[in-house]
Chains A and B, each alone.
Chain A
Amino acid sequence: MNDVLVSVENLSAGYGKPVAEDVDFAVRGGEVLVLIGPNGGGKSTLLRTLAGELKKLGGKVLLCGIDTDRLSPKERAKRLSVLLTARPRTDRMTCREVVETGRYPYTGRFGVLSRDDKNAVKRALELAGVSELSDCDFSRISDGQRQRVMLARAVCQEPEVMILDEPTSYLDIHHKLIFLDSLQTLAKEKSVAVILSMHELDLAEKIADRAVCIKDGHVFRSGTPDEIFKEEVLRELFDLPDELYKKYFVKGKSL
């Protein structure tokens, strides 16, 4: 079994005032952890705090065994990369250039790429399946392609932990599946710890090694997919009335 790469202890997160509290979980290399739960429950706030975008309000986050408070931005960037919900608007940047920004923590004063850096970019483009888009303008490709280019960017940062905030929300089902497949390959092949939030419960069940339910700023339940993706947990998690659940969720199948 791989080492624990992220461990979150008693974390409280929020904007000045806590939105999420008493959060504990740990993720090992090669493991995919999915956060599910209703909107406004605190998933995004938690992920943004783990990514270092928000200052945490309390508790501890260990990244590869090191307290994140003691990591410089560059050292953190070498261990952790992200895919955010904000979709960047770029100006005259090719997809390769977008991916290259992932090499930031490794390059020198002017960000000139070494041969190693260029190889890392090339491999990341291949893994995300977007090599043929390398020279296209990032602002002129489809949302699905753009999301995979951003995945390549996160990959070429060569992190040990990746954090993705609702990476599949804007994609059609074809691109959702391609995206999640690349992500799973990445986690397994490179032993990266992946933490992502998503709303598609059917897909979450398939990709998750473990799932954490976040509701009202607390960990409502956590466990293996078998323990989480079942009627009584989901109905309570999303406050689904009996008749609604029966109307839209046929047993054994979900939307």
Chain B
Amino acid sequence: MRRLKFKTAAVFAGLAALSLVLLGANLFIGSVRLSAVETVGGLFSGDAIIWKIRLPRAVAAILLGGALALSGYLLQTFFNNPIAGPFVLGVSSGAKLAVALTMIAAAGAGRALNSFSTVAAAFAGSMLSLGFILLVSRKVGRVSLLVVCGVMIGYICSAATDFAVTFAGDADIVNLRDWAMGSFSGTDMDSVAVMAAIVPAASVCAFLLSKPIGAYRLGEGYARSSGVRVGLLRAALIILSGLLAACVTAFAGPVSFVGIAAPHIVRLLLGTSKPTVLIPACFLGGGIFCSACDLVARTAFAPTELGISTVTAIFGAPVVIGIMLRRKRGEAV
């Protein structure tokens, strides 16, 4: 018991330290060379490179990475399966399509979308995708089939997005192409303010659900018999995971695999599935995963930037394959 507590504390300390180190690295490293002293100085003096470019981007990577991991964790709880996640279930792509269409429509009307309406459009899109997945899940019980279905939704939405982007007027879509690829670049402080309002609030709500989520680990029947209001819990899981994934897509486009990889890695590290421990750990883990991937995306082939999904897929997809192989061997994952 005591050893377990020590291990949990050690993992949390490690995660916290790592996220601070990566935050520092993301401020320090970039196309304009700054010394460590200049970086710290710039942080206090309000230097433009730090405050307008690197800090918002670094903070966004942490917040949105955490949001993705949590969204994945909530969906995994809902479907009782570790390979559920906002990207593979088509939730991110649904959000992407809704945002693209709204942006093009707004541009057609001669207006730009503000952050809140982008999030609202993304949320509508993510809920539509989730709604469709839920309808299908009534017919087919197997999550592997749902994932296939989600991937197909993803392709359909991406194709529709590409179609819309191709035929939209050039001026409308200055940023749309980059965004549709998925990227943290161009994040400004205003967007960060909106994220900082939505993501922590949704995360706290998820944490408040720890107790019913804990009971839900034994399945719907046992949860209900111990007094969980299962219908309410399931609705809350869907809405929160949809909102978190929508927020990510609204600001950074679709980001792949973080929602599966980060929760899986923290589960491995902590060796437990207790929600009071896992929910904060998932958030930190997702933030770290995205910060590290964004650092790679910015610096690996600088000055050319990689799409964030390119990097998260390279590190995240092997984790998914690993999970499936372990399940195949009959081990609990």
Q: Which residues of B contact A72 (CB under 8 A)?
A: 227
Q: For A90, give the chain B residue with the smallest CB separation.
A: B217
- Interface of chain B, main secondary structure: loop
Q: Does A88 contact B (CB under 8 A)?
A: yes
Q: For B229, give the chain A residue with the smallest CB separation.
A: A73
Q: Does B80 contact A (CB under 8 A)?
A: yes
Q: Which residues of B contact A82 (CB under 8 A)?
A: 221-222, 225
Q: Is the CB of A104 within 8 A of B226?
A: yes
Q: Which residues of A contact B226 (CB under 8 A)?
A: 77, 81, 101-102, 104-105, 157
Q: For B80, give the chain A residue with the smallest CB separation.
A: A89
CB distance from B221 to the nearest CB of A (A): 5
Contact of A88 among B82, B219, B227, B271 (CB under 8 A): B219
Q: Does B111 contact A (CB under 8 A)?
A: no
CB distance from B142 to the nearest CB of A (A): 13
A84-B217 in contact given A91-B267, A91-B333, A92-B272 (Cβ < 8 Å): no
A74-B221 in contact given A92-B271, A110-B211 (Cβ < 8 Å): no
Q: Which residues of A contact B276 (CB under 8 A)?
A: 110-111
Q: Does B215 contact A (CB under 8 A)?
A: yes
Residues 197-239 of chain B, each 1 if its beta carbon lies under 8 Å from chain A, else 0: 0000000000010110011011101101111110000000000
The size bracket of the interface on A is 35 or more
Q: Is the CB of A111 within 8 A of B214?
A: yes
Q: Is the CB of A140 within 8 A of B224?
A: no
Q: For A157, give the chain B residue with the smallest CB separation.
A: B226
A52-B224 in contact given A88-B219, A110-B210, A110-B276 (Cβ < 8 Å): yes
Q: Does A68 contact B (CB under 8 A)?
A: no
Interface residues of A in 59-95 (CB under 8 A from B): 72-74, 76-78, 80-82, 84, 86, 88-93
* Candidate in A72, A89, A139 with the most chain B CB atoms within 10 angstroms: A89
Q: Which residues of B contact A78 (CB under 8 A)?
A: 227
Q: Which residues of B contact A251 (CB under 8 A)?
A: none
Q: Is the CB of A53 within 8 A of B221?
A: yes
CB distance from A13 to the nearest CB of B (A): 16
CB distance from A209 to the nearest CB of B (A): 24
A97-B211 in contact given A86-B221, A91-B332, A92-B332 (Cβ < 8 Å): no
Q: Is the CB of A81 within 8 A of B225?
A: yes
**How far is B228's CA from A73's CA once the two chains are assembled, in angstroms?**
7
CB distance from A113 to the nearest CB of B (A): 11
**How far is B49's CA from A174's CA once the two chains are assembled, in angstroms?**
73
Q: Is the CB of A88 within 8 A of B267?
A: no
Q: Does B117 contact A (CB under 8 A)?
A: no
Q: Is the CB of A73 within 8 A of B332?
A: no
Q: Which residues of B contact A105 (CB under 8 A)?
A: 226-227
Q: For B230, give the chain A residue with the smallest CB separation.
A: A73
Q: Is the CB of A90 within 8 A of B225?
A: no
**How far is B223's CA from A104's CA once the two chains are assembled, in angstroms?**
9
**How far is B227's CA from A78's CA once the two chains are assembled, in angstroms?**
8
Residues 259-281 of chain B, each 1 if its beta carbon lies under 8 Å from chain A, else 0: 00000000100011110100000
**How far is B273's CA from A89's CA once the two chains are assembled, in angstroms?**
13
Q: Which residues of B contact A81 (CB under 8 A)?
A: 225-226
Contact of A93 among B80, B221, B273 (CB under 8 A): B273
* Candidate in B80, B214, B227 with the most chain A CB atoms within 10 angstroms: B227
B-contacting residues of A (Cβ < 8 Å)? 51-53, 72-74, 76-78, 80-82, 84, 86, 88-93, 97-98, 101-102, 104-105, 107, 109-111, 137, 139-140, 153, 157
